[in-house]
């Protein structure tokens, strides 16, 4: 694809040596701050109509009647799509060919299985007409009682949790470990349902041309989206072109194509014109995934030295009534703390909600706040400083599997963050610190860990006769800076200055870059780019070293280095030749190379691969009112090679602020009778504002990891949220002496 405007509108980057490691600003930043970056909903192909969803206000039952006539009679309304006239699909949206094919609500029948489920789509000449048309449908329902809370339905043990982990896992004998313990704790923590609120709601502009389909929509996984749509519509994937150059945030909600996005495609099919469909903010509370509520019980035993003898982490969670996704909260206890006995177990209920799905650090975030709170309670029970307790139980090998870590600079994270924070002067007992204004002050710590995951990706590199390069991969930039970080890797891979590389991404007609999720995108697509660069340089080196006319003649492939658009003999820097010279001599206009990124199965067997971090939080609490403010956050993270420290820091900041949100703000308030979410808007679904986080610091800890991949990249997208929420909760305890057991922490919990 080509962007309407070049990404290189800022002054040339001044730098020395490689692009990797440089704190470049976002190359797409200029387009974004000037409004020139074209997001999905900014596209208006000629003849485009507007589609608006009519959504269910009941949680369970069926639609008995819709006043389609009234909607159609409204001026400007072109068509109303209902189960009766919805174009046929090649596959049943309720079919599940594999565990990661999630069921979609595509008007397959009149059944309602959650509030905000689409029950019709109104298509009109204007957004206003479509909106009013949707209101005029005045649905009548046959409603059944809604199942809303974790106690409202029968509990069962799911077949798998998260991405297919066993629901129950054991190592050692937890009961024996608890029995032998000198000190024991047991505590239950509750986390609420949280919903996706990316700035950009899901949007799609779809246009059909015969059986060719052109789509503008935000996607964290272009090839997966293409595959899903191909299956649903029975058209070849290559007939589907999806453009997704910019996403206004994804956080997992745009990982898989959602029902409403497919409905936009169906609407365009029905009317035979391009259609735009944008979710209203409140319509995001249902069909695009969410973080399920949990109730977690932790039991821990400690010996006389404060060493863990057993951890039992049990989590109850919920999925929808019609599909399976189970927040793997208890699995957070697999990797962090050494214990001879660990059991993690899950149970679940089915509620009348949309299917919960991936939301930034699924399982890790929910599990971490409970685990880190419990670890804090355990430290206190042993009379130990919480940091000292964590170090006492430091895992030298992965606790659940016994595998060595590919790298683990967590000790360094603890020590550097603790130093920057000033942890050493912390009193052991709670409610002892007051600031000059009389506010209760508390300090807390939390540990972060997130697996270094890789998927599969491909990239294509081209060197041109003018010496410039091209790198293509269908990567996705959710705002995290992929346009920049990948271009940096591409520049180094091609041995070119970054401004000489035309980097292309964000389009499904480029090589499959896998999914931007699981904190694995930079590692996966980055490795594909790196390898594509290496492949094309290898071809170039062959051309040079095999040609007598070249000053590089005779040096084998290992003997040349690519830098600044030239190949140099490794053993003699004076002998070099520019890319252009090599290609021109060979009579070639360009040469091409391909690369793949994938996890290394062998090292996967041998090593446990994780990023780590430590977060320290300071909170102030008004002693009379229980109002809380996080005044300081200091985190240190070790996540392998840092491609761009500026972008990495911004991921940590964002994650840490989300951790504050988890501890203090975010919650979907659901009416206990109707199952409708009562605060589905940005005024009442609270996330932190600037005043809630006056000071955030993220320290990057150097870490070389030869095993994760050749570039040494682990991934930074999710780890910031983990540990932070627990650190805040623990700081609240330290400030007040009240142990938070449900989140978000509320004023009434602290009133005393």
Partner 1 sequence: MRDFDYIRPATIPDAIAAAAEPGSAYLAGGTNLLDLMKGGITSPERIVDISRLPELNRIERLEDGGLRIGALVRNADLAHDAAFAKAYPMVAEALLSGASAQLRNAATVGGNLLQRTRCSYFYDTASACNKRVSGAGCAALGGENRLHAVLGWSDACIATHPSDFCVPLVALDAVVEIEGKQGRRHVTLAEFHLLPGETPQRENALEPGDLIVAVRLPAEAASFAANARYLKIRERTSYAFAVVSAAAALVVDGGKIRAARLALGGVAAKPWRARAAEAVLLGADANEATFAGAADAALADASPSGDNAFKIELARRIVVRALTSAQAGTPERLPALPASPFSSIPGARHDA
Which spans in 382-516 are helix H? 386-392, 410-421, 482-494
Q: According to CB under 8 A, which one of 10, 234, 678, 702 is a site residue for partner 1?
A: 678
In the bound state with partner 1, the residue whose beta carbon lies nearer, of 239 and 631, is 631
582-641: contacts with partner 1 (CB under 8 A):
620, 622, 624-627, 629, 631-632
Of 356 and 626, the one with the shorter C-beta distance to partner 1 is: 626
Identify the three-state secondary structure at position 557: helix
* 669 is a contact residue toward partner 1 (CB under 8 A): yes
CA distance 527 to 492: 12
**Location of structure tokens 């109707």:** 674
Piece of the chain touching partner 1 by CB under 8 A; list 218-226, 405-413, 449-457, 682-690: 682-690
Q: Is 283 in the site for partner 1 (CB under 8 A)?
A: no
Interaction between residue 653 and partner 1 (CB under 8 A): no
Q: Which one of the listed residues 4, 154, 718, 748 is annotated catalytic?
A: 718
Contact 254, 654 (CB under 8 A): no
Q: CA-to-CA distance for 678 and 59, rounded, in angstroms? A: 13
Q: Per-residue b/e over 463-492, b at no fewer than 16 CB within 10 Å?
A: bbbebbbbbbbbbbbbbbbbbbbbbbbbbb
Binding mask 114-143 for partner 1 (x = CB under 8 A): --------------x--xx--x--------
Residue 352 binds to partner 1 (criterion: CB under 8 A): no
Q: Is 686 in the site for partner 1 (CB under 8 A)?
A: yes
Q: In this structure, are residues 703 and 638 in contact, taking their beta carbons and an 8 Å threshold?
A: yes
Measured CA to CA, the distance from residue 618 to residue 632 in angstroms comes to 5
Binding residue for partner 1, selected from 57, 188, 297, 547, defined by CB under 8 A: 57
Report in angstroms how near the CB of residue 421 gets to partner 1 at its nearest.
14
For residue 521, give the H/E element and its range. Answer: helix 521-545
Q: Which stretch binds partner 1 (CB under 8 A): 19-27, 287-295, 673-681, 698-706?
A: 673-681
Binding-site size for partner 1 (CB under 8 A) equals: 45
Nearer CB in complex with partner 1: 436/602: 436
Please identify, using beta-carbon distances, which residue of 58 and 68 lies nearer to partner 1. Answer: 58
Q: Which is nearer to partner 1, 447 or 674 (CB)?
A: 674
Cβ at position 137, least distance to partner 1 in Å: 12
Element (H, E) at 119: strand 118-124
Nearer to partner 1, 366 or 670 (CB): 670
DSSP for 714-750, written as a single string: ---TTTTTTTHHHHHHHHHHHHHS----BSS--HHHH
CB of 371 to partner 1, least distance (A): 25
What backbone torsions phi and psi does residue 295 show, to the nearest 5 degrees? -130, 115
Asked if 335 contacts 371 with a C-beta cutoff of 8 angstroms, the reply is no
Question: Where in 389-408 is the site for partner 1 (CB under 8 A)?
Answer: none
> Is residue 691 part of the contact set for partner 1 (CB under 8 A)?
yes
748 binds partner 1 (CB under 8 A): yes
Q: Do the beta carbons of residue 196 and residue 253 sit within 8 Å?
A: yes
Q: Which of 437, 558 has the CB closer to partner 1?
A: 437
Q: Specify burial of residue 419 (Cβ count, 10 A radius: 0-12, 13-18, 19+).
A: middle
Q: Return the H-helix or E-strand segment holding 579.
A: helix 579-586
Residue 738 is a binding residue for partner 1 (CB under 8 A): no
Residue (of 349, 263, 338) closest to 300 by Cα position: 338
Residue with Cβ nearer partner 1 (193 or 560): 193
Minimum separation from the CB atom of position 436 to partner 1 (A)? 8
Q: Which of 424, 436, 549, 602 binds partner 1 (CB under 8 A)?
A: 436
The whole-angstrom separation of Cα 190 and Cα 538 is 55
Residue 611 phi/psi, 5° resolution?
-90, 155
Residue 734: CB minimum distance to partner 1, A:
18
Assess 690 for contact with partner 1 (CB under 8 A): yes
154 flagged as catalytic: no
Residue 747: asked if its preceding bond is cis (omega within 30°), the reply is: no
Closest distance of CB 691 from partner 1, Å: 4
Which residues form the catalytic set?
A: 718
Residues at the contact surface with partner 1, assessed by CB under 8 A:
57-58, 75, 128, 131-132, 135, 436-439, 620, 622, 624-627, 629, 631-632, 664-665, 669-674, 676, 678-679, 683-684, 686, 688-692, 694-695, 746-748, 751
């Amino acid at each position: 694809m080509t962007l309407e405007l070049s990404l290189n509108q800022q002054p040339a980057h001044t730098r020395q040596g490689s692009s990797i490691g440089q704190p470049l600003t976002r190359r797409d930043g200029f387009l974004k701050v000037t409004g020139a970056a074209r997001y999905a909903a900014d596209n208006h192909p000629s003849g485009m109509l507007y589609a608006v969803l009519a959504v269910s206000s009941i949680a369970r039952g069926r639609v008995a009647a819709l006043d389609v006539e009234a909607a159609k009679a409204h001026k400007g309304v072109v068509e109303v799509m209902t189960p009766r006239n919805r174009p046929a699909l090649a596959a049943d949206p309720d079919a599940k060919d594999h565990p990661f094919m999630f069921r979609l609500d595509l008007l397959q029948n009149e059944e309602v299985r959650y509030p905000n489920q689409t029950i019709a789509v109104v298509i009109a000449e204007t957004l206003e007409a479509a909106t009013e048309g949707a209101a005029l449908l005045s649905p009548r329902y046959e409603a059944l009682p809604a199942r809303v809370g974790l106690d409202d339905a029968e509990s069962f043990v799911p077949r798998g949790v998260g991405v297919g982990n066993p629901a129950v896992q054991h190592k050692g004998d937890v009961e024996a470990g608890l029995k032998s313990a000198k000190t024991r704790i047991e505590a239950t923590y509750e986390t609420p349902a949280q919903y996706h609120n990316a700035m950009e709601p899901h949007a799609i502009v779809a246009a059909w041309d015969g059986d060719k389909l052109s789509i503008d929509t935000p996607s964290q996984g272009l090839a997966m989206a293409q595959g899903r749509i191909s299956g649903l519509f029975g058209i070849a994937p290559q007939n589907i072109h999806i453009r997704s150059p910019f996403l206004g945030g994804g956080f997992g909600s745009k990982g898989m194509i959602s029902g409403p996005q497919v409905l936009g495609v169906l609407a365009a099919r029905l009317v035979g014109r391009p259609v735009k469909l944008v979710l209203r903010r409140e319509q995001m509370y249902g069909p695009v995934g969410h973080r399920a509520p949990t109730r977690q019980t932790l039991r821990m035993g400690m010996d006389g030295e404060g060493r863990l003898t057993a951890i039992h982490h049990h989590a109850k969670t919920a999925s929808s009534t019609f599909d399976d996704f189970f927040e793997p909260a208890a699995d957070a206890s697999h990797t962090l703390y050494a214990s001879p006995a660990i059991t993690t177990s899950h149970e679940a209920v089915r509620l009348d909600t949309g299917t919960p799905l991936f939301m930034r650090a699924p399982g890790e975030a929910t599990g971490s706040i409970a685990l880190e709170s419990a670890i804090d309670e355990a430290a206190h029970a042993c009379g130990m400083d919480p940091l000292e307790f964590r170090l006492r139980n430091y895992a030298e090998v992965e606790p659940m599997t016994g595998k060595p870590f590919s790298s683990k600079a967590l000790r360094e994270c603890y020590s550097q963050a603790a130093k920057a924070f000033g942890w050493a002067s912390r009193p052991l007992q709670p409610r002892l610190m007051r600031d000059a204004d009389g506010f209760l002050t508390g300090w807390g710590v939390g540990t972060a860990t997130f697996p270094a995951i890789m998927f599969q990706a491909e990239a294509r590199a081209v060197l041109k006769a003018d010496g410039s390069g091209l790198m293509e991969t269908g990567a996705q930039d959710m705002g995290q800076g992929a346009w920049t970080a990948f271009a940096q890797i591409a520049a180094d891979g091609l041995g070119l200055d970054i401004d000489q590389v035309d980097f292309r991404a964000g389009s499904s007609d480029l090589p499959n870059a896998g999914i931007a999720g699981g904190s694995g995108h930079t590692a996966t697509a980055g490795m594909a780019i790196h390898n594509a660069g290496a492949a094309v340089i290898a071809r170039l080196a062959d051309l040079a070293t095999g040609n007598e006319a070249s000053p590089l003649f005779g040096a084998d492939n290992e003997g040349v280095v690519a830098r600044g658009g030239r190949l140099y003999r490794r053993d003699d820097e004076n002998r070099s030749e520019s890319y252009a010279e090599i290609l021109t001599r060979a009579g070639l206009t360009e040469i091409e190379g391909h690369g793949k990124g994938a996890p290394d199965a062998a090292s996967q067997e041998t090593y446990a691969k994780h990023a780590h971090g430590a977060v320290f939080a300071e909170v102030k609490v008004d002693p009379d009112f229980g109002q809380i403010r996080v005044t300081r956050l200091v985190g240190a993270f070790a996540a392998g090679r840092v491609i761009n420290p500026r972008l990495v820091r911004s991921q940590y900041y964002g994650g840490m602020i989300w951790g504050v949100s988890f501890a203090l703000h975010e919650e979907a308030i659901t009416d206990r009778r109707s199952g409708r979410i009562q605060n589905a808007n940005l005024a009442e679904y609270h996330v932190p504002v600037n005043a809630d986080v006056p000071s955030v610091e993220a320290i990057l800890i150097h870490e070389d990891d030869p095993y994760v991949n050749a570039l040494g990249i682990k991934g930074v997208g999710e780890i910031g949220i983990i540990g932070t929420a627990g650190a805040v909760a623990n700081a609240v305890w330290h400030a007040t002496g009240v142990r938070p057991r449900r989140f978000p922490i509320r004023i009434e919990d602290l009133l005393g």
